[in-house]
């Protein structure tokens, strides 16, 4: 009878240790995954803030530079494309992230062309409303970079966790898959040429 209790106690102890090991891995993986999803939500929020500023910026410029219709339309079109590109944070693939980045790069390029156009209109540059919008836009671009970095940090932590041994074995069992990171824009590794 004593041997049966010892064996039963040993089996219960082993079962408890295995439970804690598997549950611990799973729960920690969920925490890291949810942190990465939250970081992604903040990235989207920062991009949404930029998209929300654009209609006011376009309307302000339109009042001063009505004949720059093509540039203004390009910004509006790029904004529409950028806001329509959505990603499910539970399943971010490199392809989806590349498509998202491409849409955002299109908007960034259109905004850059608009701001270059503004240089032709000194009275617009002096407009207080335009200056405030431009300042908010610059601040938003900084927020986007910060949130992208935080997202990459959260994804890095999650990806390392599920790829380290023995987590790499358990990750497949629990359905944890690596998440995609933001990459630099194509051609960003080349220094721009400046000529005077």
- 86-123 per-position pLDDT tens digit: 888 877 888 888 899 999 999 999 998 888 888 888 88
Residue 127 forms part of a structural domain: yes
Average the pLDDT over each of 128-132, 168-172, 191-195 and give the range with the smallest value: 191-195
Is residue 189 predicted with pLDDT exceeding 80?
Answer: no
The CATH number of residue 68's host domain is: 1.20.1440.20
Contact 79, 107 (CB under 8 A): yes
Contact 142, 161 (CB under 8 A): no
Residue 28 forms part of a structural domain: no
Taking the C-alpha atoms of residue 72 and residue 117, their distance in angstroms, rounded to an integer, is 10
Is residue 196 predicted with pLDDT exceeding 50?
Answer: no
Give the domain range for residue 127: 35-174
Residue 188 forms part of a structural domain: no
Is residue 188 predicted with pLDDT exceeding 80?
Answer: no
What's the chain's average pLDDT? 87
Taking the C-alpha atoms of residue 164 and residue 103, their distance in angstroms, rounded to an integer, is 34
Cβ–Cβ contacts within 10 Å for residue 83, how many? 16
Taking the C-alpha atoms of residue 154 and residue 161, their distance in angstroms, rounded to an integer, is 11
Q: What is the number of domains present in the chain?
A: 1
Fill in the DSSP letter of residue 90.
G
Query: Look-up: residue for tokens 């004949």?
Result: 67
User: What's the confidence (pLDDT) of residue 92?
Assistant: 84
Residue 195 forms part of a structural domain: no
Residue 124 forms part of a structural domain: yes
Q: For the segment 26-38, what is each residue's pLDDT rounded down to a tens digit?
A: 999 999 999 999 9
Residue 76 forms part of a structural domain: yes
Helix (H) or strand (E) holding 108: helix 94-118
Residue 128 forms part of a structural domain: yes
Tokens of 21: 């090991």
Residues whose CB falls within 8 Å of the CB of residue 98, separated by 6 or more in sequence, listed in order: 183
3-state secondary structure of 161: helix
Is residue 191 predicted with pLDDT exceeding 70?
Answer: no
Residue 29 forms part of a structural domain: no
Show the 3-state SS of 143-175: HHHHHHHHHHHHHHHHHHHHHCCCHHHHHHHHC
Taking the C-alpha atoms of residue 35 and residue 150, their distance in angstroms, rounded to an integer, is 10
Residues 69-94: what's their mean pLDDT? 87
Q: For the segment 137-162, what is each residue's pLDDT rounded down to a tens digit?
A: 999 999 999 999 999 999 999 999 99
Rounded-to-10 torsion of CA 167, 171, 176, 181 = 40
Taking the C-alpha atoms of residue 119 and residue 85, their distance in angstroms, rounded to an integer, is 31
In the chain, % of residues over pLDDT 70: 93
Contact 96, 180 (CB under 8 A): yes
Question: Is the sign of the CA dihedral 61, 65, 69, 70 positive or negative?
Answer: negative
Taking the C-alpha atoms of residue 91 and residue 137, their distance in angstroms, rounded to an integer, is 30
């Amino acid at each position: 009878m004593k041997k049966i209790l010892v064996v039963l106690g040993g089996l219960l102890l082993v079962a408890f240790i295995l439970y804690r090991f598997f549950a611990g891995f799973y729960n920690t993986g969920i925490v890291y995954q949810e942190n990465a999803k939250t970081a992604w939500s903040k990235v989207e929020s920062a991009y949404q803030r930029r998209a929300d500023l654009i209609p006011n910026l376009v309307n302000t410029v339109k009042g001063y530079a009505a004949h720059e219709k093509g540039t203004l339309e390009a910004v509006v079109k790029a904004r529409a494309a950028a806001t329509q590109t959505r990603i499910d944070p539970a399943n971010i693939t490199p392809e989806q992230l590349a498509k998202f980045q491409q849409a955002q790069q299109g908007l960034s390029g259109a905004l850059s062309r608009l701001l270059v156009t503004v240089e032709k209109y000194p009275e617009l540059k002096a407009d207080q409303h335009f200056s405030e919008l431009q300042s908010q836009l610059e601040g938003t671009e900084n927020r986007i970079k910060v949130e992208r970095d935080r997202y990459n940090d959260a994804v890095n932590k999650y990806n390392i966790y599920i790829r380290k041994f023995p987590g790499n074995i358990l990750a497949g069992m629990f359905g944890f898959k690596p998440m995609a990171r933001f990459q630099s824009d194509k051609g960003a590794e080349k220094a721009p040429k400046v000529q005077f």
